[in-house]
Amino acid sequence: MDSIVVTGGGPLNGEIPIAGAKNACLALMPATLLSEEPLILTNAPRLSDISTMTVLLQSLGADAASLQHDKVLAMSSHDLTSTRADYDIVRKMRASNLVLGPLLARAGHAEVSLPGGCAIGARPMDIHIDGLEKLGAEIELRDGYLHAKAPGGLKGAQIDLAFPSVGATENLMMAATLAKGTTVITNAAREPEIVDLARCLIAMGAQIEGEGTDRIEIQGVDRLGGATHRVVTDRIELGTYMLAPVIAGGDVECLGGTLDLVQSFVEKLAEAGVSVEETGRGLRVRHDGGRVRAVDITTEVFPGFPTDLQAQMMALLTTAQGVSTLHETIFENRFMHAPELVRMGAEIEVQGGTARVTGVERLKGAPVMATDLRASVSLILAGLAAEGETVVSRVYHLDRGYEQVVRKLSRVGAQIERVKGT
């Protein structure tokens, strides 16, 4: 099993290109199931999760291929040969459930295995199911599969989400594009990935208003066409690499980044004493390498502080001046990185959904283990600030959400390498 070795100590200087958003691309890809015409995605990230979604779509009869060094995804679902999303594929990735809405809308039936993904807490399907049933679907759970059908076709409805779930909002938006009549989704998710999906669906001929607000209205149409769409910048990768020069010291410009994608995150960096400059090419972060100020953080749905940046921010706060408190409100099991940071000398106390971090002068390199996607990169960031060598094992999690992390960090001066497992 591969590991990543990081030797801390040096400042980082240069440019880091930020990839297209993994979470946006994983929602955009199933949109091909809604149309017989081609859907082309540019600025697509090169990640194992994207490969998994490609395999899933191909298993349903879609043509899906990567072009131009994998940055372009060309897909076509002219002839669907199956509406069953098998467990062997779906278990690898949570976002696989996003084929449910499009299959119901296009074919009128679907069998989708309950999904897998990182073990960071319960992410139930009940919000998805409740919304689809309001659209006229009949859904039954049997043998680990959701068996869904819409005998009379999907029909527009008023859907009030119990929680602004990103996945449920995406699934319902796609299903509603081909439903008869008008669908209104309230308490909808507002994330940039939702806006990106809406823009792609509109380019395909959908009638959608209100994306980016908590009320989205969709007027169903008879058919959708093809489109070419550029995937939005990955705000989580952006925030992650913005932290690198803060932790290690230096001057790094994150190309493709914009403030609107990470506003709440930047506000917390400002509280910690870090300035961020929008350059026109991206976001520039400079820091002298000194200790930042402690800050308190509560994860929230967008536009609040992202849960997907909590682990990375904790890595920074382990060496802050003072005591920081992090409240995790999205996932109940998302402090699994804390014990690994403690192995590096951090002082962290976890009680339920709250972590209390007392900053120390310096972390010490140690062998640590990645427990999930964001935890893996937080340990790499911690290694940049640590004295000596940090060895991060189980980095296969990293491949799901960060492309070429070793190359990107080494190009700005980090001492980092990937070691092949035996």
Angle at 296 between CA 354 and CA 194, to 5 degrees: 85
Distance CA(342)–CA(359), nearest Å, equals: 11
Please tell me whether 308 is known to bind a ligand.
yes
Catalytic annotation, residues: 118
Report whether 208 belongs to an annotated binding site: no
154 and 179 Cβ atoms separated by less than 8 Å:
yes
Q: Quote the CA–CA distance of 395 and 243 in Å, as a whole number.
A: 19
Tell whether 330 is in a known binding site. Answer: yes
Nearest-angstrom CA–CA distance, 300 and 310: 10
The residues pairing with 64 across neighbouring beta strands, listed in sequence order, are 75
Q: Is 23 annotated as a binding residue?
A: yes
DSSP state of 33: G
Q: Is 420 annotated as a binding residue?
A: no
CA 264, 265, 267, 268 torsion: positive or negative? positive
Closest alpha carbon to 30 in 58, 8, 6: 58
CB neighbour burial string for 148-176, b if at least 16 within 10 angstroms, e if fewer: bbbeeebbbbebebeebbbbbbbbbbbbb
Task: State the Cα–Cα distance between residues 227 and 368, nearest whole angstrom.
Answer: 44
Q: Binding site membership for UDP-N-acetyl-alpha-D-glucosamine: which residues?
A: 94, 308, 330
Which residues are documented as binding site for phosphoenolpyruvate? 22-23
> Binding site: residue ranges?
22-23, 94, 308, 330
